[in-house]
Amino acid sequence: MPSKIRVAIAGVGNAASALVQGIQYYSDGPSRAGLWHTKVGGYSISDIGIVSAYDVDARKIGSDLSKAIFAKPNVMPKQVNVKPLGVDIEAGMLGNSKQVPAGMKIITRNGSIADSLKKKKTDVLLNLVSSGNDAASKEYAEAAASADCSFVNATPTKLANDAKLVSKYSGAGAIIVGDDLMSQFGGTAFHRGILDIMNSRGIRVKKSYQLDVGGGTETLNTLGEDLRAVKRKVKTEAIALEVPYEIESVAGTTDYVDFMGNSRTSYYWIEGEQFLGSSVRFDIYLRTMDGPNAAGVLVDIIRAIKAARDKGQKGSENTISAFGFKSPPKRQKLSQAYEEFRQKYLR
pLDDT in tens, 79-94: 999 999 999 999 999 9
Segment 55-80, tens digit of pLDDT? 999 999 999 999 999 999 999 999 99
> Pick the residue with more confidence: 98 or 319?
319
Segment 319-339, tens digit of pLDDT? 999 999 999 999 999 999 999
Q: Distance (Å, rounded) from C-alpha 51 to C-alpha 2?
A: 10
Give pLDDT, residue 268: 96
> Model confidence at 235, in pLDDT bands (50, 70, 90)?
confident
Compute the residue count for the chain.
347
> Model confidence at 205, in pLDDT bands (50, 70, 90)?
very high
Average pLDDT over residues 190-197: 95
- Specify whether the CB–CB gap between 152 and 126 falls below 8 A: yes
Give pLDDT, residue 222: 74
Give pLDDT, residue 167: 98
* Nearest-10 Cα torsion for 92, 1, 295, 332: 100
- Distance spanning both ends of the chain, measured CA to CA: 26
- If DSSP codes are grouped into helix, strand and coil, which group holds residue 196? helix
CATH architecture of residue range(s) 187-289: 2-Layer Sandwich (3.30)
Instruction: Compute φ and ψ for 277, nearest 5 degrees.
Output: 75, 15
Q: How far is CA 325 from CA 20, 76, 77, 137, 152, in A?
A: 21, 22, 25, 16, 10
Residue 133: CA atoms inside 13 Å, Cβ hemisphere, count? Answer: 29
Domain with CATH 3.30.360.10 in the chain: 187-289
- Specify whether the CB–CB gap between 144 and 151 falls below 8 A: yes
Bridge-based pairing state of the strands 90-91 and 124-127: unpaired
Nearest to 261 by CA among 81, 70, 104, 101: 70
Q: Does the pLDDT of residue 217 top 80, yes or no?
A: no
Host H or E run for residue 288: strand 279-289
Q: Does the pLDDT of residue 96 top 80, yes or no?
A: no
Q: How far is CA 65 from CA 8, 29, 48, 85, in A?
A: 11, 21, 15, 7
- Specify whether the CB–CB gap between 142 and 10 falls below 8 A: no
Q: How many CB atoms lie within 10 A of CB 96?
A: 14
Q: Does the pLDDT of residue 44 top 70, yes or no?
A: yes
Give pLDDT, residue 1: 62
Q: Distance (Å, rounded) from C-alpha 241 to C-alpha 234?
A: 11
| 317: Cβ contacts below 8 Å, ≥ 6 apart | 175, 176, 177, 304, 305, 308
Segment 103-134, tens digit of pLDDT? 789 999 988 999 999 999 999 999 999 888 99
Domain with CATH 3.40.50.720 in the chain: 5-182+292-345
Q: Distance (Å, rounded) from C-alpha 104 to C-alpha 60?
A: 12
Segment 133-191, tens digit of pLDDT? 999 999 999 999 999 999 999 999 999 999 999 999 999 999 999 999 999 999 999 99
- Specify whether the CB–CB gap between 257 and 214 falls below 8 A: yes
User: For a pLDDT cut of 70, what percent of the chain falls above it?
Assistant: 97
- β-bridge partners, 71: none
> Pick the residue with more confidence: 98 or 292?
292
CATH architecture of residue range(s) 5-182+292-345: 3-Layer(aba) Sandwich (3.40)
User: For a pLDDT cut of 90, what percent of the chain falls above it?
Assistant: 82
Which 8-state DSSP code applies to residue 180? S
Give pLDDT, residue 251: 87
Amino acid at 197: I
Give pLDDT, residue 227: 65
Peptide bond preceding 179 in cis form (omega within 30 of 0) = yes
Mean pLDDT computed over every residue of the chain: 93
> Model confidence at 97, in pLDDT bands (50, 70, 90)?
low
